[in-house]
Structure 1
């Protein structure tokens, strides 16, 4: 029997589709597969992001920051087409069968607890924009990560497509002129999006989350 691969301190990412029964499943599935391929090429992982049972996605990351970066990248790729919620669990992952994607460990138990938590909380009045929950049992856990992530969730939920595109350009480090050129708008219009939607502090919060251990 092959040795079991163990990641003793990592972050498991579990995602599922919000309101999946209302979606055009073939179209949503194909869009998700394309997004996963792009995110796997962009964000380093210990075990690749993939579709598992039903509408769920899973991946394993060395840090919470990498897991958050994957979640933000997925949301960018799928904005306006597929809405995802995320449960992130910090702990141990054991890969029992790499070919079949069978894994267990404390990180997965915590990720499941987290995604169930955010689904329940998002049903409460005033919390409909929440998409992320974190349960982290590692020594390097950051207690402020979940409230900061949920504050980002609430801000993203209020952004229209135009400001979302400007935020993406800002996160990619484009200056105002280059961002405006890519988006097909004037530099003045792009600058107004940044100012009117408070995109600079939002981008700073996202970068801070993506840098977490």
Structure 2
């Protein structure tokens, strides 16, 4: 029997679509595939982010920071097309059947617990914008991570479509001229979106999380 591949101390990322039954799956699916490709190119995974069962996606990353960076990348790629929810678990992953995508391990158990937890929290009207759950049981886990992620979620949730587009351009590293052209507005209007919504501060917080071990 072939030796099963194992990743130790990795970050498992589980993604599902919020209220997917209310969406046009046929129209959304090609956009999701394109967003997955862009995310895999931008943030190298240990095991590529991909569609699994139904509307779920999964991928494995070397660090919590990489998993968070991937979550924000695919989220911004799909602004206006699909609303996503994320669960990240830190632990080990065992690849039981690579051909069929069957995996197991503590990282996946924790990712599932994390996504179920954030879904339950978001059902409360005071936390409706929460989208990211994390289960990190390492002794050196940063206690501020979950609070920071929740603040980012809450701020993104409040943004209108135009501001979300401006944030996506900031996170992608586009200059103001290019971002404005992509949005079909003037550079001055794009700058106002950034200033009025404190988007540079929000983008800095997102980028900082990518350095987490």
TM-score (norm. length: structure 2): 0.94
Runs of at least 5 residues in structure 2 that lack an aligned partner in the other structure: none
What is the deviation of 1:134?
0.2
Q: Does 1:142 align with 2:135?
A: no
CA distance in 1, matches of 2:178, 2:76: 19
Tell me the residue number matched to 1:30.
Answer: 30
Corresponding residue number in structure 2 for 1:194: 194
Determine helix, strand or coil for the equivalent of 1:153. Answer: helix
Partner in structure 2 of residue 51 of structure 1: 51
**Deviation of residue 101 (structure 1)?**
0.8
| TM-score, scaled relative to structure 1 | 0.94
Q: CA deviation at 1:142?
A: 2.1
For structure 1, list consecutive stretches of 5 or more residues without a partner in the other structure: none
The alignment partner of 1:14 has SS state of strand
Mapped partners of 2:9, 2:139: distance in 1: 9
State the match for 1:112 in structure 2.
Answer: 112
Instruction: Show the counterpart of 2:12.
Output: 12
Shift of 1:140: 4.5
d(CA) in 1 for partners of 2:172, 2:74: 15
RMSD: 1.4
1:66-85 residue pairs with structure 2 within 5 A? 66-85=66-85
> 2:99 is matched with which residue?
99
> Quick one: distance in 1 between partners of 2:54 and 2:175?
41
Which stretch has the larger CA shift, 139-148 or 1-10? 139-148
CA contact (8 A) 1:9 1:138 kept: no
When structure 1 is superposed on structure 2, of 190-199 and 116-125 the one drifting more is 190-199
Q: 1:203 corresponds to which residue?
A: 203
Give the Cα–Cα distance (whole angstroms) in 1 for the partners of residues 28 and 147 of structure 2.
29
Counterpart contact for 1:14–1:57, Cα < 8 Å: yes
SS in structure 1 at match of 2:125: coil
Matched residue, 1:173: 173
Query: Cα offset for 1:28?
Result: 2.0
